[in-house]
Chain A
Amino acid sequence: MAITFNQVSYEYDANSMWSQAALQGVNLHLESGILAGVAGATGSGKSTLLQMFNGILKPTSGTVQVLDITLKGGEKAPKLHQLRKRVGLVFQFPEQQLFEDTVEKDLCFGPINFGYSLEEAKDRARRAMEQMGLDLSLLSRNPFQLSGGQMRKVAIASVLTMDPEILVLDEPTATLDPVSRAELIQLLHRLCREDGRTVIIVTHRMDELLPFANQWIVLHEGLTVFQGTVKALIEQADRMESYGITIPQSIRYWRSLSEKFGWSEEDPCLSAEAMSKRIAHLVNSEDV
């Protein structure tokens, strides 16, 4: 089990007059090596949840277990250095957090903090660039002169250099154009499939993650109101609307088709390609 949350609550400014509950009793179980999508309306607690995965925020109450490290609400946290290395957290608009004068230096920042030699760090930087599909010639460039999409990838690579077992990203595709978005999601999917990393992605565009995510978590007002597979999600699609989530077109079409033609027991086909193949099968198989 990569991540287990047991009745986790979190309050901002817990001891002040303005304490605000962001999470209230979240339960969560995520296996290693999966790609999980986290959805929920603005203010549902998604960003807060992410920051608990590597101990940036500590639970006010409840137990957070990530890999073999346990954080208990109300108890003093253990040293989190190791956890930070093993769980890479990418904030929203990570390109706005770049600060060194070359891409290479920015990529080496993490590994050096975790005690690797400069040589090893540079080696990791190169590998991370390749993993993000970036040209190595960019290493010597100033990060601020890259295009928006490149900067985003460099910023994600700067977390990959730590070779984390779990990679957590907050809306990694926000403000990118649709083609770059699809490309980025595919890169992230590859990190999960080929390297066996657990990848957790917060998104408000469920459609782009639908063909890839093994697990979905839906948050609403600080509570996990859904955790399960895409298939279960489709069954409960009506309920999702009330949590402020827009049901993607592909799910709508699949639901309508499966009701009409009795496919509800089948694994959902959610890409246009897969769905049309299924439809073609329906139309043609009865040709005889």
Chain B
Amino acid sequence: MKQHDLKEPHYTPDATESTSQSSDVIPGPGYPAIELVGVSYGYGKDLPVIDDISLSIPQGQWVTLVGANGCGKSTLVKLMNALLSKGEGSIMVKGKELQSDTIGDIRKAIGMVFQNPDNQFIGATVEEDIVFGLEGQCLSIEVMEERVNSYAEKLGITELLDKHPSELSGGQKQRVAIASILSMEPEIVIFDEASSMLDERTRNDLLNILSDMHKSGRYTIISITHDAQEIAASERVLVLHEGKLIADRTPTDLFQDEKILEMSHLIAPFAFQLTTALHRYGVDISIPNCEKELTEALWPLHSIK
């Protein structure tokens, strides 16, 4: 029941590393990292979980996938790295078609962080958990050591390397999961409701990690979440409803569309709710970024009169 995880350093992208890597590994921004064409999946013809979805996600983009529980979000991302065996349609990852002989390569390109912090912890210690994926890539001991140390440092878990999962809080376990995934150096990272079991403070930490990852330019991020702040921070929102892709827009557009919000069981951030309500009362202001902007916008309205 001890608390360790409050004020940990954030993940800091290593600028030099990212530029040197991006030139030879990543084919450049805009290149599609993932392309789905007519993908369907279901238990029999009558019960499609995923219904004819086509989409393309360019390299380096931060995409949020939203929708009510049971709409097929989790199924969709699990199809991308063949955790669920493929239904109809074609899935291309980094220009490679997902087939039984490419599963290995595709899983190497896609890292996945799951919802439950405890259940995805494989090793008996933090270090062993990070190493689990690296051993599978048959890396040499020297490279593994280097990766363990550098990614543990980036995620601020260096002090925890010897700890058993039972000694860690949920937020710390989620950090370990991210370190384990990033150390395998995937180009696409999928977060499957990774923040939903965390408390508010650690959820903010996770959001900072995601932002830094995005800024580094090395990762294509696909995140499933209900968290308004996290959605707002991303570049693009895909809305799923009953297995169909019903909207593809920017977060700002999404938060102003009450119909889509309702269909996807989302609630807009407080600033959006407030501005929408203010409109109804005839007070027209643009959406404030913080509380200061609101008072500053209101001040003239109040004092001119």
Contact = CB atoms under 8 A, between A and B. Distances in A.
Interface of A: 12, 20, 22, 41-45, 48, 147-149, 174-180, 182, 204-207, 221, 244-246, 248-250, 252-253, 255-257, 260-261, 272-273, 275-277, 279-280, 282-284, 286-287
- Main SS at interface, chain A: helix
A14 B126 CA distance: 29
A255 B302 CA distance: 17
B17 interface: no
B277 A272 contact: yes
A282 B282 CA distance: 12
Contacts of A284: 282
Given A148-B69, A175-B193, A244 B3 contact: yes
B270 interface: yes
A244 B201 contact: yes
Interface string B192-214: 01001101111010000000000
B262 A256 contact: no
B115 interface: yes
Contacts of B171: 42
Given A43-B169, A179-B266, 14 more contacts: A41-B199, A42-B3, A42-B202, A174-B197, A175-B197, A178-B226, A180-B69, A253-B271, A261-B295, A272-B276, A275-B277, A279-B298, A280-B283, A286-B302
Contact of A283 (B2, B115, B301): B301
Closest 9 CB pairs of A and B: A280-B281, A43-B3, A272-B273, A276-B277, A249-B270, A256-B291, A204-B199, A179-B265, A178-B267
Nearest to A147: B70
Contacts of B281: 276-277, 279-280
Given A253-B274, A253-B291, A177 B68 contact: yes
A157 B202 CA distance: 31
Contacts of A282: 298, 302
